[in-house]
Amino acid sequence: MSALAENISLLYDSTKVYTNLNSENQGSSVLFDNGTSYTDENVYGGFSSILPIVLHNMTGLKEGENEDVVRKGPLVSRKVRDFFVIINMAIMAQIISVFGVVANIINIVVFIKQGFGEAMTVTLTGLAVADLGTVTCQVWLSICWNPWFHYERLSLPFRPLHIEYLSAGHPRASSVRVSAWILALATFERCLCITIPFKVREIITPYRARVFVIVVFVVNTACSVPFYYTSRIVPFFDSYLNRTYLVLTFTKDRQQIDNVFFAISVSLSVIPFLAVTIFTAVLVYSLDKASKWRETVKISEGNASKIENSGQTKQSAGNTDDAKKTQQRQPNKNKRASKMVSLISTIFIACNLPNVVNQLVMGIVPEYAKNGSYENINQTFWSLGYMIETINCSINIFMYYSMSTRYRNTLQDVFRTRCCPGKNADTARNEADVGVTERK
């Protein structure tokens, strides 16, 4: 594990050296944390000659100095950080995300099979698509953070931790925000189903749900575009290794632009998180209140039915029971759907809380941000938050299957059609024959 820790440290520390493009695109220079820059001649001609300066700018040390003595009191050591990053990002998140890809594809197939006649089906389909984007990006992200996937060891034409910033990091963050907004709509709809059940279909229609999902995808994707403007992937010749590979570069105006859109991104993450929290609390309260009310009504109806049935025949009593069962089916269906959404929302809140808090602390405490004095604990919680978010985006299939009869029946039909098409056709033919016989 120590060898892995050294590799991941090398991977992580290499991301602290960025190249900065000038506005005229006449060349590039390596930009270090203290603002010191080096021209193309310095970078392309002799990178090894500035390694001591790189060391000083990355760690604040001079050659021969002890990091534990000079560094300003890290709460988490580098070895502890590397251990958690390897476990959370390279191992656990990779396994979970691969399962999540399969699970969300199954969810999408089932919802398409059900059709989009209900707003909730549209909402859950959008949620499955967003979760699929999250776990797909996480698969590539985990590969890039794997210490064995090193550009020197595998002679890769790029630095994985530079490439994943644009190819996985931002798309994943955008997908997580989309999931939060769509889940906020789902919890809001369930709240309306409990509080005003006869008007909810007029307020949230399938068409409005589709428009909301599309707008959420477009807005959150658009908020990531500025990051792609300030970040570039360019070839870089390393004379020390005597080869060229792709690295991440930033424009000179990157700091000003990224600060603005980082604040917008945090807002787009926090607002739906708070909305889901509030709507879930209202939903749980409403479900509890409705459950108590139904128990009271059941007792009253039971007493009334005893008196009423005493003067009725058995046949009329049976007809009354059937009518009551029919009347109760729709409320029970809404109740089950509301319980399912409240459970999904509760898991979402628990799984997304670490990263939401992490983002807020990064914005409030400068030393907690990347390259700050508390970067080790930042990276530790960041890797843990990513792993937990991946769990959240992968386990909805279990709630759907265990709590939704319609989902379970549709999924079973899909597997019968795909796995046993001949058997499914024979079953349908036999059922048709039975129906003809009964009619005769």
pLDDT at 64: 45
144 in any annotated domain: yes
Q: Hey, CA dihedral for 54, 59, 61, 67, is it positive or negative?
A: negative
Higher-scoring residue by pLDDT: 12, 373: 373
Q: Pull the structure tokens for residue 28.
A: 């590039």
pLDDT band at residue 271, thresholds of 50, 70 and 90?
Answer: very high
Higher-scoring residue by pLDDT: 433, 60: 433
The whole-angstrom separation of Cα 183 and Cα 127 is 7
CA distances from 315 to 46, 309, 321, 322 (A): 97, 10, 10, 11
pLDDT at 223 over 60: yes
316 in any annotated domain: no
pLDDT band at residue 209, thresholds of 50, 70 and 90?
Answer: very high
Q: Is 371 left (phi over 0), alpha (psi -120 to 50) or beta?
A: left
Higher-scoring residue by pLDDT: 18, 99: 99
DSSP symbol at 292? H
Higher-scoring residue by pLDDT: 59, 239: 239
pLDDT in tens, 119-158: 999 999 999 999 999 999 999 999 998 888 888 788 888 8
322 in any annotated domain: no
Higher-scoring residue by pLDDT: 69, 301: 301
411 in any annotated domain: yes
Residue whose tokens read 């989309």 = 178
- Taking residues 359-370, what's their average pLDDT? 77
- Taking residues 18-25, what's their average pLDDT? 38
Domain that residue 367 falls in: 2-307+329-430
**Residue type at 29 in one-letter notation:** S
pLDDT in tens, 178-204: 999 999 999 999 888 888 888 888 899
Q: How many domains does the structure of the chain reveal?
A: 1
312 in any annotated domain: no
Q: Are 44 and 237 in contact (CB under 8 A)?
A: yes
Give the domain CATH number at 247.
Answer: 1.20.1070.10
DSSP symbol at 393? T
- Taking residues 83-98, what's their average pLDDT? 93
**Kindly report the CA angle at 431 between 427 and 434, in degrees rounded to 5?**
140
102 in any annotated domain: yes
Q: Tell me the DSSP string of 408-429.
A: HHHHHHHHHHHH-HHHHHHHHH
Beta-carbon-side half-sphere exposure of residue 262 (alpha carbons within 13 Å): 13
405 in any annotated domain: yes
